Amino acid sequence: MALEFTTSYLDDSIAVFHQYKKLAEGAMAQLGEEQLTAVLDPEMNSIALIVKHMAGNMRSRWTDFLTTDGEKPDRNRDTEFEAPPATRAELMALWDQGWSLVFTTLGSLSEGDLTATITIRGEAMSVMQAINRQVAHYALHVGQIIFLAKHLQSTNWKSLSVPRGQSAAYTRKVYAGEVSQR
């Protein structure tokens, strides 16, 4: 994941969140609408339910980020894993609403806010720790989305990074300046 060089924690965090968002969208774009709700077994979540959960988490964590607990009293986490959105349009609307909260909140923060104390589920942590927690959480779920999409697409899968068996050729192109690292 090539990112622009920065010494700003906030700028880097925002870039990383954008990259994970883009990867998940690239995976979901390869699927038919019915595949978004497909599950591999009864204990598994579909991509639609993972997105619904992420959107619920994003709403809870990033709304009034500096002033209220990150686990909002009106959040019912268990329902995030029930009744997936019925259409791709509904799913993507939830997805976009959640990410909008992430980017709006992060964009409103200053480097000085990173050492402020916030709470999530009553646990005190710095803003920087809370951001790290969410980067890890979203990365986990984006990985699940990609795994499921790749499984469902099988031989029709289009790589989101360097395609299998093309690492050496890609590296040569990077060093030759033929491929942007951004």
Answer whether residue 3 is part of any domain.
Answer: no
When mean pLDDT is compared over 6-15, 26-35, 154-163, the highest value belongs to 26-35
**Does a structural domain hold residue 181?**
no
pLDDT for the residue 166 = 74
Number of domains in the chain: 1
Q: pLDDT at position 180, please?
A: 61
Domain around 91: 9-175
Structural domain includes residue 182: no
% of the chain residues with pLDDT over 90: 84
How does pLDDT run across 147-163, given as a tens digit for each residue? 999 999 999 999 998 77
Tell me if 4 is assigned to some domain: no
pLDDT of 3 strictly over 90: no
Q: Using 50, 70 and 90 to split pLDDT, how confident is the model at 54?
A: very high
Would residue 34 count as lying in a domain?
yes
- Cβ contact 113:9 at 8 Å: no
Which residues have C-beta within 8 Å of that of residue 52, sequence separation ≥ 6?
Answer: 80, 81, 84, 85, 91, 94
Residue 182 binned pLDDT confidence (cut-offs 50, 70, 90): very low
2 lies in a domain? no
Of residues 60 and 161, more confidence is placed in 60
Confidence check: pLDDT of 143 > 90: yes
Residue 14: give its domain's CATH number. Answer: 1.20.120.450
End-to-end CA distance of the chain: 8
Assess if residue 180 is contained within a domain. no
- Global pTM reads 0.90
Q: Is the distance from CB of 73 to CB of 64 less than 8 angstroms?
A: no
3-state secondary structure of 22: helix
Q: Which residues contact 39 (CB under 8 A, 6 or more apart)?
A: 45, 46
What share of the chain in percent tops pLDDT 70? 96
Please compute the mean of the pLDDT values over residues 133-146 and round it to a whole number.
Answer: 98
Examine residue 97 and state whether it is found in any structural domain, yes or no.
Answer: yes
Write the pLDDT tens digit of every residue in 70-90.
Answer: 999 999 999 999 999 999 999
- R_g of the chain, CA atoms, integer Å: 18
Q: Give the span between the Cα atoms of 124 and 133, in whole angstroms.
A: 13
State residue 179's pLDDT score. Answer: 67
